[in-house]
Copies of this chain bind each other. A is one copy, B any other.
């Protein structure tokens, strides 16, 4: 069977951002190409036209398709014959640029994979959603932790009722790298993430709490009702939050909490989630992603390993594995799974099928809207003494 059957060819990827010195651009290209289903074909790799051109050889992009700007890229590519032009655009710029690139790409009819948080604010997100709805493109958002096989395994278990009714979700994302005012030392990653004009209304809550919140939503499908949030800025001189906790009431009566920190010494990317149901509980931790603990009263604790061949592994879990158990898979492979699920949809669309945009395995534009709403409401709640504010957006997926 050929690659991306019935297309039988690789998908052509265009990268926006990812120029020299970028980290996340390289992550996207590795993840997208891991399974040999895509090839980096074009790029607008930097807002600086010279650097954009100079970075092309890093990705083996032909000179002719190394564009000076995303506008030029979209315009030129749209005019290429169908069997040459790009299939999708991956957007890996700082947050404040996401919207204009994404909206233009969508309107030009290209599929999009966009970094999270999806836009600068909720207004942009809602506008973008409308564009996507109209254009019928595939639009994925890189909530990459949803790509871990055991996250998908857990999701299917929960949606199937194996944990019973869900009562509680506790998730956290703990980092330490912004413990000092790195942004004052001209560290590029720190600089834009702590700058309200680039990062948006939130710091830690925009950058990482969104992941922790999304993970609970993705795994359980519980719909939120209200949120009460307390944000803090512990590092002097910083303009955005670097720590916070949100309490979430779900419509079903379940209670959730989300904590994010960028100021916890020595902590790396400690994403952890615990879910309590009436029939079982589970715990998963991103830094050791090939294991998940499932517990039931009266039974030994069960360590589910990432094992595509085990009877206890369900369809979602197995489909997300490339290796047998014991040979660990990790960040890149999870990221690649987000791409891979989006590719399935892109191939279907290319084959003329109507594609689902909302209830998808990969995180999509609806999740992106919800993430922006989460950020907005958390910041608003925090500024109102942790008042309870609505959290359910009309675009929320189940």
Nearest-CB distance from A64 to chain B (Å)?
A: 16
Is A27's beta carbon under 8 Å from chain B? yes
Determine which of B10, B296, B304 lies in contact with A265 in the assembled complex, contact meaning CB atoms within 8 Å: B296
Is A35's beta carbon under 8 Å from chain B? yes
Q: Report how far A177 CA is from B177 CA in the complex, Å.
A: 36
Q: Report how far A279 CA is from B26 CA in the complex, Å.
A: 33
Contact: A269 with B230, CB < 8 Å? no
Across-interface contacts of A312 in B (CB, < 8 A): 298-300
Contact: A328 with B276, CB < 8 Å? no
Contact: A60 with B36, CB < 8 Å? yes
Contact: A305 with B301, CB < 8 Å? yes
Q: A34-B34, A36-B60, A281-B266 are in contact. Are A297 and B179 (CB under 8 A)?
A: yes
Q: Report how far A305 CA is from B300 CA in the complex, Å.
A: 7
Nearest-CB distance from A357 to chain B (Å)?
A: 28
Contact: B305 with A268, CB < 8 Å? yes
Determine which of B26, B60, B296 lies in contact with A3 in the assembled complex, contact meaning CB atoms within 8 Å: B60
List which A237-267 residues lie within 8 A (CB) of chain B.
243-245, 247, 249, 253, 255, 257, 259, 261, 263-267
* Number of identical monomers bound together in the oligomeric complex: 4
| Segment from A283-291, A341-349, A367-375 that makes contact with B | A283-291
Contact with B along A377-398 (1 / 0, CB 8 A): 0000000011010000000000
List which A6-58 residues lie within 8 A (CB) of chain B.
8, 10, 23, 26-27, 29-30, 33-36, 40, 57-58
Q: Which A residues lie at the B interface, using CB under 8 A?
A: 1-3, 8, 10, 23, 26-27, 29-30, 33-36, 40, 57-60, 167-168, 170, 172, 174-177, 179-180, 228, 230, 232, 234, 243-245, 247, 249, 253, 255, 257, 259, 261, 263-270, 274, 276-281, 286-290, 293-305, 307, 310-312, 322-333, 385-386, 388
Across the A-B interface, the 3 shortest Cβ-Cβ residue pairs = A266-B295, A268-B326, A269-B326
